[in-house]
Chains A and B, each alone.
Chain A
Amino acid sequence: MASAASLDLGRLVQEAEALAGAVRGALGPRGGQVLLTRPTGETLLTRDGRRVLEALNLDSPTARMMVACVSLHHHMTGDGAKTFIILLSKLLRGLQEILDKREGSPFCEAIQRRGRYQKHHCLKQISQSLMTFQTHILDQITAEDLRKHFFSAFSSLEGEISRHTMESILEAYFCGRIGNSHQKLLSQLSCDFYYRCVHFKNGRNEMLNLVNDYFVELHFAVPGLPVSNSRILEGLVLHRDFGVYCPADGDIRMLIVTESIHSDLSASDLEFVVNAEVQYQASQVWFTKRTETIMKHLQSNNIKVLLSSVKQQEIVIYYAKISGISVVECLSSEEISLLCKTTGISPFVPTWDNVRCEITETMVAKFCRPIVLGSKRYVHLGLTRTCAFQPHCVIFCGPVHGVTEQHASAFQGAFKMLQQLFKAVDLSDKCAAQPENPNNTSEAVHCSLQYSSQQKLKMENNSCNGEKINNQQLKTFPAETEKQFVDSYSWVDENPSCSQTYLQKSSNLVMPIVKLKNDFMFSALIDRGHTLRELQKFKYPSEMGIKNKSEPVVNNHRICNDAMTAIENTSTSVVSKHLNTTKDYWNPGNPIIPFKYEKSYNHTIQSYTSSVIQAGSVLPVGGNFEMLLHYYLHSYAKKCLQPKITVVSTVIADALLSIPKILHRTTKKNSFTQVYFKATSALQINNQLHMNQQGLESVYCKYQLVASVLHCVTKLLTIDLIIAIRRLPQKTEDNDSEGDL
């Protein structure tokens, strides 16, 4: 018989606090390491909160759900697992205190009257207010108050990142992820890797995606050597040894094959009939000759290296050796696809027909030689670049496998974090949550448009096809919006019905959803942006003024109205106006100097964009984000008229403080109370926070973290009953994770 238990907030708090206890010691730059042992007896060192929490193998379904939420968040951002669980435990504790107080709490008015069942009702109410908070107030506060404190990671106007900034971002990241003796080394290494791999700044996102996707192929772990031997190698190292190695100089032409070159007498769908012994011998000879011819053909095409995903027969190896062709066999499919991606070639299919024609699908390497890493020999290819990724790979050394693995996963996490750094948060999320407001539709359209136009501008897409576009523009808007929502929803993990309804509304407004025709459209927009640019400057002077007074809400409504009318008139003025503003932002007239508190600089970010968080926004580490958010939430709570929101905001604000509390737990010079006092008084006096910490962290990651935690709490509190069912444990586990996703 299935047993059911109702959700108990007290139990949730206990579980979350136990989980937080496991990772608390590892948080921050002074955190220690956690040693994990696997069922295989292998030991693993880690400071990664997700790894620790997953290794606990918890029994409780709610605790497992929390861990699943952490994993999901970590998987997306590569950061923040420890902060997540600590924040969660504090938040739950705060909510429990509200419930315990009972008297005077806006959530608990009905409890005395209707008994236990209403307790859940009360939780439900809290969860709803949290939801409202997350969707409405968090964005608003970030946009209105927090934004003026952000720095930009970009040093120049073209969106380049100076090495110094990059180093401080990466160093701050590694501070929380690996043992404190190697942080400097690894942040240098990853910084080096970034600058050596990225060839031109527009290929940045492509490079980061490629590095994240193929990280397994791009790194090597060599246990038994000191960590200081870790290094970056130019070119790619394949995880195999040569089957045949024939040294060659100069430019080396290489070929990829994915099937066996030598074919056998019969295949699974072909039968072979032997009529005479001579026939058998002759066919054997013929097959051998065929293989020989193919290999000779490769030789005559000046192919020096054959990269094969399958094991080739000995006869192929033999002829390869005679023809002076090196062979690498049994490459994994990921390696093959990485090679194809970086060089842009496709595998060669050897047939009797193409033996005569010239081979075109080749790649060229500067060198191809064996390399000994640890005790094994591998193949080192010096590929010449053909895409945004300049091929390089990393070698991690360490005394034990556990250390190299930790470094490798932290390294990958750092690149995930960089991916996040270059993302922006749009106001469109906010609009999506309020489908009843008619203005929002157009606002969202405008936001998404602006967002993508910025993106496209950076991509320098120059394919031009101007004339037909005017008519198509309107049709493209809804499609664009949809894409936008898919993007934004994928990370907030929101109830999809919300976006659905909204989407319908937007498609009602402007008719059919057609195929995306971004390229045409935006190239046209860029053109128009140029011509109308001067005009627009004079046309909207008042709005600029409003923006500079930093009243983004009003400003946004204004934009919305504008956008609305603009769409109705099927004119491109709105679009070009926004192009204009983005252009202004990148204008060389506004010097952007990171690390310096200049008012003008802050205003540049703030006034010319309508996004909540600009791509590349950073804040100094050390709990500054949490303290800022805490401060503004408190002041918001004071002003807020709805009692539920006030309570929720206060709880969140207090929970946020737990992070800086732990970060500053041991330092004698900067104890938490001093730091906190300094920060709040500075904010009260001149609305600015004096920050002297060295490292920087991505605001986007932090923002997402708060949103994910709130979402997790909301989800936990909406559970009514926990029902245990009798099925295979494996199955129930699956169900669990499905529910979480």
Chain B
Amino acid sequence: MSRIEAKKPSLCTDKPLTKDVVSFSLSVLSGIVKSCYGPTGRLKQLHNGMGGYVRITSQSSALLGGLSVTHPVLNLLTASVKNHISRFSDCGLFTAILCCSLVENFQRINFESSTVTKISRHLLSSCIDYLKSEACGCRLSVDFDSIKTLLSLVRSILASKPACMLNKTEASYISTLILKAFLLTIPHSVETNVVLGKCVIVPVKDKRVMESAVYPGLLIEIPVFQLASIFPVKRVSSSTIKMALFCISLSGDLSNIGDGPVIVHHGISLEVAVLDQLLNLGKQLVNDQVGLVVCQKVIHPSLKQYLKEHRVITIDRVGLSMVEPLSQMTGSQPIAALHSLSPTCYGSLKDLRTENFVSKHFWHLIPNDILVCSLILCNRNEMAWDELKHVCQTAEHVLQLTIKQPLALLGGGCTETHLASYIKHKSSTLSTGILKAIDCSQTQYQLVADAFCRSLECVACCLEHDDGEILTDMVYGHFWSVQSGFPSDCNWSDLVLKCGCGIYNNQRNLNWTVLQRQCIPFIPQSCSNRPSVNATDHLVLDCFTAKCSGLQVAVETANLILDLSYIVEDQN
């Protein structure tokens, strides 16, 4: 009672965006996220200064999770990016950078927020309409007949996370593994309700990346003391092993007694009674020709011994997270009863082997229908392993999203520049009817559209961290970068090699110009009518769903921030 204190009055701020502290902290945040973006992004070391866990990263999820933002406006921004990451795993930095630069650019034109909101909303909807339309010039449809596009997608994700410390061969090896693991989780027979399997990542640290591997089925570690007593499994037929999966404890403890008192007469041991039941259960399992017993919790040593004598292999303490994939891949139902087992709840395995991996030993459960696979992931040190694991999960998520919507966007800044030139063209040919509906003038619309395009191009510019020059062409509206230190008198066409996404090589008459310089609006041409698109190796691609949503979230958040007229901070 003595801890009750009177509430402190809240702190109020009027017109928060005009305050210096907001624009300063916004520029700090945007500086951090901008410098992390892309394959050449700079790494950040996160530590608490007191000997805690140190992390080196350039990933948005780790970065924003680690930053403690105090100002509510920034809090709003980071919260919305974090929410985006939790839904899509990818494109977090893109969203954060776009949002920051939209706020900065819109503030600079200094219109009333409702006008800016209306126009930017219209711009956003025309962007999304364009991206979702067939005519979109910066997207590819993913061809599942060949793995090239999928592989490019995975490789682009790996390449954009330099903190994994992978070299080129390692990166391509890991991307192949990720893709392989993903393909294993797709069910063979497709019904109406498709449920993807699971890829379990098994950590092995302090090893070379090239020793990573994918195994179909599950890997369950064997404790060292059990290694001595391994015997071949009992099979029903040459390719079938019957297995039982228990989700209750088989340790012989007295469960389900209830809340009330239980009176036990002298000389009666309930433990013996339960153990008796357990041994009866063992008898039934042996009779039913079960070869493998897996238990989520603990198995009583006597039961273990009994089963061992009858050549039944036992694996216990597998944990709750393993029960679902186990039941999924073997078709067995988690058993919760100690007696009168129904024969329908047993599952089957194709094979059971032991695998040695460096110093660790695993049971390898191989199912008939492979839905679950294990990815043994190695990396040199703890920090790089963490980063790599995150990338694998991101890549898996992106592949799942791509299956749902088989489209990919051009990466390497090309989508941003292409979209910017599309919007420039669109806003220059705007009908008066639309202007009337938005209730703004042509000049207002043009200014907001320019700010919007500048922000998009700014995201593309963040890919270059080494003072290089960034160009765009006037035909496709793609992104081209030139390394710094070029002679001032030479032609652009002598310097550029490939566009950002790698789809176009240096061609004549592409008419380059420096990005963000004023130029005449043009209709950017589409890349999809090129026959050789899928033949090209090493494209840089981005996840369509994640990027579309990131774009929308960034614009919506920027609008929210601009619309703030008052802040009330609770000081308690």
Contacts and interface: CB of A to CB of B under 8 A. Distances in A.
Contacts of A224: 80, 83-88, 553
B256 A41 contact: no
B110 interface: no
A314 interface: yes
A280 B273 contact: yes
B263 A268 contact: no
A34 interface: yes
Contact of A728 (B1, B262, B338): B1
A62 to B, nearest CB: 15
Interface stretch (A24-32, A137-145, A415-423, A491-499): A24-32
Interface stretch (A69-77, A393-401, A424-432, A525-533): A393-401
Interface stretch (B111-119, B166-174, B311-319, B507-515): B111-119
A202 B379 CA distance: 68
B333 A247 contact: no
Contact of B563 (A179, A313, A318): A179
Interface stretch (B8-16, B405-413, B446-454, B536-544): B8-16
A596 to B, nearest CB: 25
A666 B570 contact: no
Given A38-B570, A223-B83, A317-B336, A33 B259 contact: no
A322 B342 contact: yes
Of B72, B259, B568, most buried by chain A (CB within 10 Å of CB) is B568
B337 A275 contact: no
Among A180, A263, A269, A271: residue with most chain B CB under 10 A: A180
B263 A274 contact: yes
Contacts of A321: 333
A277 B336 contact: no
A56 B13 CA distance: 12
B19 to A, nearest CB: 13
A285 B339 contact: yes
A52 interface: yes
A293 to B, nearest CB: 12
A308 to B, nearest CB: 16
B258 interface: yes
A17 B159 CA distance: 58
B488 interface: no
A251 B151 CA distance: 44
A280 B270 contact: yes
A362 to B, nearest CB: 25
A277 B12 contact: no
Interface stretch (B31-39, B58-66, B426-434, B554-562): B554-562
B569 interface: yes
A34 B570 CA distance: 13
A335 to B, nearest CB: 25
Contact of A400 (B80, B264, B570): B80
Contact of A314 (B80, B118, B248): B248
Given A264-B256, A399-B556, A318 B10 contact: no
Interface stretch (A225-233, A343-351, A559-567, A631-639): A225-233
A268 B257 CA distance: 11
A284 B280 CA distance: 14
- Residue with the greatest number of chain B CB neighbours at <10 A, chosen from A59, A313, A399: A399
Contacts of A575: none
Contacts of B248: 314-315
Contacts of A31: 565
B135 interface: no
A553 to B, nearest CB: 45
Interface in A501-547: none
Contact of A37 (B75, B84, B338, B556): B75
B8 to A, nearest CB: 7
Contacts of A375: 86-87
Nearest to B80: A399
B134 interface: no
A688 interface: no
A34 B565 contact: yes
Nearest to B76: A43
Contact of A57 (B9, B114, B552, B564): B9
B258 A264 contact: yes
Contact of A265 (B86, B258, B268, B567): B258
Contact of B335 (A181, A265, A318): A318
Contacts of B10: 55-57
Nearest to B121: A181
A176 to B, nearest CB: 13
B118 A274 contact: no
Contacts of B553: 224-226, 399
Contacts of A274: 262-265, 268, 270
Given A277-B269, A400-B80, A402-B76, A374 B87 contact: yes
A101 to B, nearest CB: 32
A360 interface: no
Interface string B311-348: 00000000000000000000001111111101011000
Contact of A276 (B9, B247, B268): B268
Interface string B255-279: 0111111111100111011001100
B260 A322 contact: no
B287 interface: no
Nearest to A315: B336
Contacts of A55: 10, 568, 570
Interface string A256-282: 000000111111111111111110110
Contacts of A36: 567-570
Contacts of A582: none
Nearest to A184: B121
B114 A30 contact: yes
Nearest to A268: B259
A266 B262 contact: yes
Contact of B559 (A34, A179, A263, A267): A179
A292 B83 CA distance: 44
Interface in A3-29: 22, 25-26
A288 B337 contact: yes
Given A227-B556, A271-B263, A273-B263, A35 B16 contact: yes
Nearest to A34: B566
B436 to A, nearest CB: 14
Contact of A730 (B4, B86, B260, B277): B4
A45 interface: yes
A682 to B, nearest CB: 25
A69 B64 CA distance: 41
Most central of B258, B549, B553, B566 by chain A CB within 10 Å: B566
Contact of B256 (A43, A265, A273): A265
Interface string B100-113: 00000000000011
Contacts of B517: none
Nearest to B113: A32
Contacts of B4: 728-730
A554 interface: no
A655 interface: no
Given A57-B9, A322-B344, A313 B570 contact: no
Q: Which 6 A-B pairs have the closest CB atoms?
A: A32-B565, A264-B258, A224-B83, A266-B260, A226-B552, A399-B80
8 contacts: A35-B73, A37-B75, A273-B262, A273-B263, A280-B273, A284-B339, A313-B336, A400-B76
Interface of B: 1, 4-10, 12, 14, 16, 72-73, 75-76, 79-80, 83-88, 112-114, 117-118, 121, 193, 247-248, 256-265, 268-270, 272-273, 276-277, 333-340, 342, 344-345, 549, 552-553, 556-557, 559-560, 563-572
Given A224-B85, A277-B272, A399-B84, 16 more contacts: A32-B566, A37-B75, A37-B568, A224-B83, A225-B549, A225-B553, A226-B553, A265-B257, A267-B259, A271-B261, A274-B263, A284-B277, A285-B340, A319-B337, A399-B553, A400-B76
Interface of A: 22, 25-26, 30-39, 41, 43, 45, 52, 55-59, 179-181, 223-228, 247, 262-278, 280-281, 284-285, 287-289, 292, 313-315, 317-319, 321-322, 374-375, 398-403, 666, 728-730
